Structure 1
């Protein structure tokens, strides 16, 4: 099982934007970081991820899933850049703030804390389950 965290500035593309798109999902385009691109290349269909509002809000606000495997990013001028498509799965009933994550000792090694600038990050299953519990999801949707 694999889990991820997708960061987006809400004034550019918010959780509400992704929910409004529905099941067809949205290309997670515009990523120009090799580590983030490689994370997307490693994703499988149905992998779950946190949707994280960066810069404004600084919180996990929803759960999304990979709906299309890595493919050329339509916004890129060169084929180097790839992305996946994601679709919304469910709201996080209680947004889990970066402050709460940083104040939880079990999450001290989470990429969100250690690699704060990386826009697409891996999340361990233990981290995923704990953040979901912190957000009020006792039975979270799991990756296949």
Structure 2
């Protein structure tokens, strides 16, 4: 059973809401359409093992319900664990369907005065049906989704720790622009190339570089 208080994500500000044309109705991993290159080999979308997940730490009401959920809210839950529900973008959902138990994700504060990375959490339960899509009283209700063929999935996450220092979007953007010019690890970071997605993949190189910033002075 999911906890009474469920993790929320900023769909309107973080997700584009557009179908990327690669919906997997079976609930399996998202794969790009195979294409034959010059060598005749097919190509598939890369598999990731690190993530960045956005949620709103400041109060915002939808249909009279506060969708606020910051890292302190996750930390306050029983076992510091919550379900990451409410994702209503196909690409973000498909990334969650790739997640494996034990993988790490940054908790990113979005749609707030100072957006940025606040902490680290673990994926503790792999993707399963997001029950909020069937709840008419929930802000994430989707009348087009059916119990025998649900559209939306969620994962369970567990608080691991706060960042040693908050890493604001403004600082990450400076590194991104530097690395675009120099070929550094954040040159293609999804936070800037697919900015509206509330669930984003990170390469191991991107994840490790961002962790290293904890011990450095702000840029």
Normalised by the length of structure 2, the TM-score is 0.60
Structure showing greater relative contact order (alpha-carbon pairs closer than 8 Å, 6 or more residues apart): 1
For 1:44, the equivalent position in structure 2 comes to 100
Distance 2:209 2:80 in 1: 29
Query: Which one of the candidate residues 2, 23, 26 is aligned to 2:79?
Result: 23
Query: Which one of the candidate residues 156, 159, 167 is aligned to 1:85?
Result: 156
Return 5+ residue gaps in structure 1 as ranges. Answer: 138-144
For 2:121, the equivalent position in structure 1 comes to 64
User: Deviation string for 1:9-57 (max 9, x for gaps)?
Assistant: 1121000001111535111000000001000000000110000000112
Change (3 A) 1:72 1:15: same
For 2:56, the equivalent position in structure 1 comes to 9
For 1:114, the equivalent position in structure 2 comes to 193
Kindly indicate whether the alpha-carbon contact (under 8 Å) linking 2:84 and 2:157 is maintained by their aligned counterparts in 1.
Answer: yes
Distance 1:87 1:9 in 2: 17
Query: Which one of the candidate residues 95, 106, 121 is aligned to 2:166?
Result: 95
Return 5+ residue gaps in structure 2 as ranges. Answer: 1-47, 59-67, 135-144
Runs of 4+ residues over 3 Å off in structure 1: none
Are 1:124 and 2:171 an aligned pair?
Answer: no
Kindly indicate whether the alpha-carbon contact (under 8 Å) linking 1:92 and 1:136 is maintained by their aligned counterparts in 2.
Answer: no
Cα deviation, residue 119, structure 1: 0.3
Cα deviation, residue 112, structure 1: 0.5
More divergent stretch after superposition (40-49 vs 18-27): 18-27
Are 1:53 and 2:124 an aligned pair?
Answer: no
Cα deviation, residue 109, structure 1: 0.9
| CA RMSD of superposed structures (Å) | 1.5
